[in-house]
Amino acid sequence: MQRMLFAGALGAVLVSMGVVRQSSLDGRLASLERAEGAAPRRDEALVRQIEHLARELEGLRRELDGAREDTGLALLLDARIAAVDAALADASELFVLQNNRLAEVGEQVGTLRATAATEARLEALEQGLEQRVTGLSQAVDATLQLAQETRARVERTEPSPSRRWCETLGPTVQLAGDTTVGSGVLLESRALGDGTFETLLLTCWHVVRDIQAGNSQPDGPVPVAIYSPDGSRATTSAAVVAANVDIDACLLRLRSKEAVRHGARLPSRATLAASNVYDQVVAVGCPLGNDPIPTLGNLSSLHHMVDGNEFWMISAPTYIGNSGGGIYAAGSHHLLGLFSKIYTHGSIRPVIVPHMGLVTPLAEVYDWLEERSVARVIESEDGTAQIVVGG
């Protein structure tokens, strides 16, 4: 608002100065035109008269020199010479007066010209000032736009708490059996032709294996607890679609009459390939049967081999029950992988090392799903992706 007031006030001053300066300049130019119009011109007839009288006077003097013996003629010539001499003096005086007048007018015209030039320079300076003010205004506008863009980037980089919950904790579910508990990640729901919705769920194979091993139906549905922002939760079940023991991944599917409110955002392969060590990540899971808990850390390694398979390592604290939970990019909240294993130290009394967790990269999951024709991975130009089973 202050910038607008400043620009408006300065603009008004410039307009006022421009009006006054233009009026003054117009007056100066009008005076110059009047002075030049009123200035006397060189009288060519007077010049010719002076030249004629001078020649006549010279001729009379030569005649006088030749007629000195004729007294009467000499007197006539003397009288004629005096008359011509007087006429010549009058003409010369008039000529001098005209020259003086022309000099005065020339001086006035020169002054007016100098003033007009000064006014023109002032006008040019004012135009330059106006251009600088315009440039300043544009610079201020550009700065404001930059500030807005920076604020928007900050907001994207530092999401609000509600957005953090919806994009990381909301998609996190608890998978629990009689003797074991783990985590999973809901993907975005997809409408089916019959009016129902399909929601895919990613988790680790060992979580599903342990839950089904303790159930009376080994291949039966897997219990799923879905959470709401108010802390409440709804229970449902999901069916196993496919599993991969080597990369410790499992795809499940649940169907419902309504879409699941919160699903994880999947990145394209190119987005995943841009990940680097030191990138900040958020690990979200249900350790020891708790509601979803986020912990913050970094990517520690992108090439950690276990039994011939490649895993990522993270420094975000994790514990038993985090298995199957999501590992998210801290800024964009894209799902990067599934938490798979926790490091332990010692064999007699193994001690858990919570800041050395292993993650199944999502790119490995994509490859498995497509190579085994389990599902298609559809990538978009905005750097996101979608997993579609069948259809």
Distance CA 293, CA 367 (A): 29
**Straight-line distance from the first to the last Cα atom of the chain, in angstroms, rounded to the nearest whole number:** 55
R_g (Cα) of the chain, nearest Å: 51
pLDDT of 140 higher than 60: no
Asked whether residue 171 falls in the same domain as residue 141, the answer is: no
383 burial via Cβ count (<10 Å: 0-12, 13-18, 19+): middle
pLDDT of 147 higher than 70: no
For the chain, give the mean pLDDT. Answer: 81
Q: Which domain holds residue 187?
A: 161-388
Q: Per the structure, how many domains does the chain have?
A: 2
pLDDT above 70 covers what percent of the chain? 66
Strand partners, 387: 377
Domain boundary among 136, 157, 178: 157
Q: Which residues contact 88 (CB under 8 A, 6 or more apart)?
A: 50, 53, 54, 57
pLDDT at residue number 5 = 41
Domain boundary among 108, 126, 157: 157
- What stretches of 214-266 show up as alpha helix (H) in DSSP? none
Per-residue pLDDT of 180-233, as tens digits, reads 999 999 999 999 989 999 999 999 999 999 998 866 666 789 999 999 999 899
Lowest average pLDDT, out of 66-70, 155-159, 215-219, goes to 155-159
The predicted model scores a pTM of 0.60
Lowest average pLDDT, out of 31-45, 119-133, 284-298, 349-363, goes to 31-45
**319: its two tokens:** 């514990």
How many residues make up the chain in this entry? Answer: 391
Domain boundary among 102, 137, 157: 157
Order of strands across the sheet that contains 266-267: 266-267, 384-388, 376-379
Asked whether residue 102 falls in the same domain as residue 196, the answer is: no
Per-residue pLDDT of 97-108, as tens digits, reads 766 766 666 676
CB 354 within 8 A of CB 340: no
Asked whether residue 52 falls in the same domain as residue 183, the answer is: no
- What stretches of the chain show up as alpha helix (H) in DSSP? 2-38, 44-66, 71-157, 161-164, 205-213, 269-273, 362-371
Give the chain's largest Cα–Cα span: 171
Asked whether residue 153 falls in the same domain as residue 263, the answer is: no
Asked whether residue 125 falls in the same domain as residue 178, the answer is: no
Lowest average pLDDT, out of 132-136, 201-205, 224-228, 285-289, goes to 132-136
pLDDT of 56 higher than 80: no
3-state SS, residue 56: helix
pLDDT at residue number 7 = 44
Strand partners, 255: 198
pLDDT at residue number 77 = 65
Asked whether residue 144 falls in the same domain as residue 72, the answer is: yes
Asked whether residue 282 falls in the same domain as residue 354, the answer is: yes
pLDDT at residue number 82 = 74
Distance CA 56, CA 249 (A): 131
CA distances from 357 to 139, 211, 290 (A): 50, 22, 19
How confident is residue 313, by pLDDT bands cut at 50, 70 and 90?
Answer: very high
Distance CA 87, CA 49 (A): 9
Asked whether residue 206 falls in the same domain as residue 351, the answer is: yes
Asked whether residue 125 falls in the same domain as residue 104, the answer is: yes
CB 317 within 8 A of CB 355: yes
Mean pLDDT of 112-120: 66
CB 375 within 8 A of CB 263: no
How confident is residue 128, by pLDDT bands cut at 50, 70 and 90?
Answer: low
pLDDT above 90 covers what percent of the chain? 48
pLDDT of 6 higher than 50: no
The CATH number for 66's domain is: 1.10.287
How confident is residue 284, by pLDDT bands cut at 50, 70 and 90?
Answer: very high
Asked whether residue 245 falls in the same domain as residue 132, the answer is: no
pLDDT at residue number 4 = 45
CB 213 within 8 A of CB 221: no
Pairwise pLDDT comparison (239 vs 52), residue with the higher score: 239
pLDDT of 151 higher than 60: no
Asked whether residue 361 falls in the same domain as residue 235, the answer is: yes
The CATH number for 195's domain is: 2.40.10.120
Distance CA 298, CA 304 (A): 15
pLDDT at residue number 286 = 95
pLDDT of 154 higher than 60: no
Asked whether residue 205 falls in the same domain as residue 283, the answer is: yes
How confident is residue 351, by pLDDT bands cut at 50, 70 and 90?
Answer: confident
